[in-house]
Amino acid sequence: MVDPYSTLIGDLIDRLERLPGIGPKSAQRIAFHLLQTRDDEVSRLASSMIEARRQVRECVRCCNLAVLDECEICSNARRDRARVCVVEDPRDVFAIERTGAFNGLYHVLHGSLNPMEGIGPEELRISELLRRLSAEDIEEVILGTNPNLEGEATSMYLVRLLHDEGVAVTGLARGLPTGGDLEYADEVTLGRALLGRREFPAAEI
Amino acid sequence: MIRTGVEASVVRGEFTARGRRMLVAVEIQRQTQRRRVQVNRQPLRRSSDLRRELATVVFQPDDLQIVKGPPATRRAACDEAVALLYPEAEELQVRLGNCLRQRNALLRGLTVSQRRGPLDVSISQTLDVWDERLAMAGTAWAEYRIRALEVVSPLMSQIYSRLNPGSSTFVELSYQPDWLGAGLRASLAAARREDVERSVTTVGPHRDEIFWSLLGMPARTHASQGQQKALALAFRLALHDALSATRGQPPLLMLDDVFSELDPERRKILPRLFPSSQVVLTATESYPAATRESEVVDVTALLLGQAGWAAAIS
Ligand SMILES: [Zn+2]
């Protein structure tokens, strides 16, 4: 089949299609939209992508995305440093921040236990978490992994691992839709789940 | 079935379920072999959702394999009964499958040296977590299986004895996994060494046998072919009865080529066992006149090639 577009446009569509949540139709629509947008608009979009990618890295403390060594949350003196909420993904930090129900710090694992995708404990930022526990005055670790199979397995792993660390380990209250992703939970539900967090019963440890 | 030379095959049907009229269309694409289902012109997210909308129980000549085949066929039949009787268990079934796939992936990912020596602490801690998830889902699934069989088994025994008047017939479906005593969690722990060596989960509901017994003997080895066919049919009819009772709405019963599967004696009896609700029969020959109020659709025309085809659908 002959490519209906020049390779240049084809390449652009191709690359857009590789982005999450973008199918062939949307990729085409975005590509043609860009081609008809003012020059400086497109340049600004491109440079903000490049700049963000270049400047954003992992926070040395919580592994969240950060522009400086420490992310904005970790460097905020008004946050409660005794409480750390462990989440799978930087997007989950966003979701919880939106609720306004949590004033502690975070720890971002960058994934969940998932043997099918080759993700074991070593692939997650778990050793970084253990290091924080010995270096910082943390009283409570709140496990905020996704309420799906892999998230629960990850929580369970951490509950056992943190058992002897001298911190209270709590999990988000039920009420979150199971099988879902934290980032899609609405603010009210997620806020309530945070307030109603509970200790893991001994039976699960 | 997709006719040669065309891209897809569509089957449309009109149903009344819970007093609601439903137009169902199922399309099978040649290339992808995927099924797309529409209800009242709205596409269903998953084609398995059709089961919620419109329950069907189907008997096929192949069902003989449930009795005669390997344990997997009996597990599949039992799990189908669970899915039909307890639609809420669907999520659990998906979860159980995922637990197993994750645990097996973990086992397969071990290196040869990890497999030989004592397990690394981090690996055994990760396995603990998957063992526990699997044990929870597997135990819950086993409970569903036991519940379903407790409902279906007595109905099946009744139907089977009506199909075989005059002879003593006690049919029982039972499920007693070996791991039930110690618990799945402990049994997985006990099997860990072997699982690690073989890179597969050797204990759990995915390995269990569902016992089909006739007069206390395993039907797989002790029943004749005729008895086995009758058992498979009795299972489907019992599932139909169980669903009618629990849902208050009889499912659609479809019997594919059932009469040619039975001996003359049972052929005569079968129509008396039909439920009062709708039954769809297909047959390659004319079947006993005893079937009441039947509407016969002769599809011989379809076999006559293009012309006949066109005549039949017009
Ligand atoms: Zn940080």
Q: Are A150 and A113 in contact (CB under 8 A)?
A: yes
Of residues A115, A149, A179, nearest to B106 (C-beta): A115
Among A116, A126, A150, A200, pick the best mutation site for testing chain B contact (most B Cβ within 10 A): A116
Tell the burial category of B275 from Cβ atoms under 10 Å away from its Cβ (0-12, 13-18, 19+).
middle
Residue B292 pLDDT > 70: no
Average the pLDDT over A69-73 and give the result: 94
State the pLDDT at residue B95.
94
State the pLDDT at residue B294.
66
Residue B33 pLDDT > 70: yes
State the pLDDT at residue A204.
57
- CATH tag, A7-55: 1.10.8.420
Residue B88 pLDDT > 70: yes
Q: What is the 3-state secondary structure (H, E, C) of B97-160?
A: HHHHHHHHHHHHCCCHHHHHCCCCHHHHHHHHHHHHHHHHHHHHHHHHHHHHHHHHHHHHHHHH
Nearest CA in chain A to B126: A157
pLDDT digits (tens, 9 = 90+) for A83-126: 999 999 999 999 999 988 899 999 999 999 999 999 999 999 99
Highest mean pLDDT among B45-59, B93-107, B242-256: B93-107
With vertex at residue B237, the alpha carbon angle to CA B234 and CA B240, rounded to the nearest 5 degrees, is 150
Averaged confidence pLDDT in chain A: 88
In this complex, do B98 and A152 lie within 8 Å of one another by their Cβ atoms? no
* CB-CB neighbors (< 8 A) of B91 in chain A: 179
In this complex, do A120 and B130 lie within 8 Å of one another by their Cβ atoms? no
* CB-CB neighbors (< 8 A) of A150 in chain B: 102
Average the pLDDT over B134-155 and give the result: 97
* CB-CB neighbors (< 8 A) of A122 in chain B: 122
Distance of CA A162 to the CA centre of its chain: 21
- CATH tag, A77-204: 3.40.1360.10
Q: How far is the CA of A78 from the centre of ligand 1 (A)?
A: 14
State the pLDDT at residue B58.
92
Q: Amino acid identity, residue B121? A: V
pLDDT digits (tens, 9 = 90+) for A156-193: 999 999 988 889 999 887 666 656 677 767 776 777 67
Residue B31 pLDDT > 80: no
Among A157, A161, A162, A178, pick the best mutation site for testing chain B contact (most B Cβ within 10 A): A157
Calpha distance A160→B287 (Å, rounded): 65
Average the pLDDT over B22-32 and give the result: 81
State the pLDDT at residue B310.
44
Going by pLDDT thresholds of 50, 70 and 90, the confidence category of residue B313 is very low
Closest chain B C-alpha to A4 CA, distance in angstroms? 24
In this complex, do B133 and A152 lie within 8 Å of one another by their Cβ atoms? yes
Of residues A116, A149, A161, nearest to B133 (C-beta): A149
Q: Are A150 and A122 in contact (CB under 8 A)?
A: no
DSSP A176: B
Average the pLDDT over A189-198 and give the result: 72
pLDDT digits (tens, 9 = 90+) for B182-203: 999 999 999 999 999 999 999 9
Nearest CA in chain B to A148: B95
Same fold, A7-55 and A77-204: no
Residue whose entry in the numeric block shows the structure tokens 């992703």: A181
> Can you tell me the ipTM of this complex?
0.76
DSSP B292: T
State the pLDDT at residue B74.
97
Nearest CA in chain A to B127: A157
State the pLDDT at residue B19.
72
Going by pLDDT thresholds of 50, 70 and 90, the confidence category of residue B314 is very low
In this complex, do B132 and A115 lie within 8 Å of one another by their Cβ atoms? no
Bridge partners (DSSP) of residue B12 are: B25
Residue B312 pLDDT > 50: no
> Any idea of the CA torsion for A78, A80, A81, A84, to the nearest 10 degrees?
-130
Average the pLDDT over B80-103 and give the result: 94
Of residues B102, B122, B133, nearest to A121 (C-beta): B122
In this complex, do A116 and B126 lie within 8 Å of one another by their Cβ atoms? no
Give the up-direction half-sphere exposure of residue B134: CA atoms within 13 A in the CB hemisphere. 27
Closest chain A C-alpha to B88 CA, distance in angstroms? 14
Calpha distance A115→B133 (Å, rounded): 14
Average the pLDDT over A122-145 and give the result: 95
Average the pLDDT over B264-281 and give the result: 85
The domains of chain A are located at 7-55, 77-204
Give the DSSP H or E segment for A188.
helix A187-195
Calpha distance B182→A109 (Å, rounded): 35
Q: Can you give the pTM of this predicted structure?
A: 0.80
Average the pLDDT over B219-246 and give the result: 93
Calpha distance B71→B207 (Å, rounded): 8
Going by pLDDT thresholds of 50, 70 and 90, the confidence category of residue B281 is confident
Q: Are A153 and A146 in contact (CB under 8 A)?
A: no
Q: How far is the CA of A136 from the centre of ligand 1 (A)?
A: 13
Averaged confidence pLDDT in chain B: 86
In this complex, do B128 and A113 lie within 8 Å of one another by their Cβ atoms? no
State the pLDDT at residue B116.
83
In this complex, do B101 and A116 lie within 8 Å of one another by their Cβ atoms? yes
State the pLDDT at residue B305.
52
Going by pLDDT thresholds of 50, 70 and 90, the confidence category of residue B15 is confident
In degrees and rounded to multiples of 5, residue B58 shows phi and psi of -120, 130
pLDDT digits (tens, 9 = 90+) for A31-65: 999 999 999 999 999 999 999 899 999 999 999 99
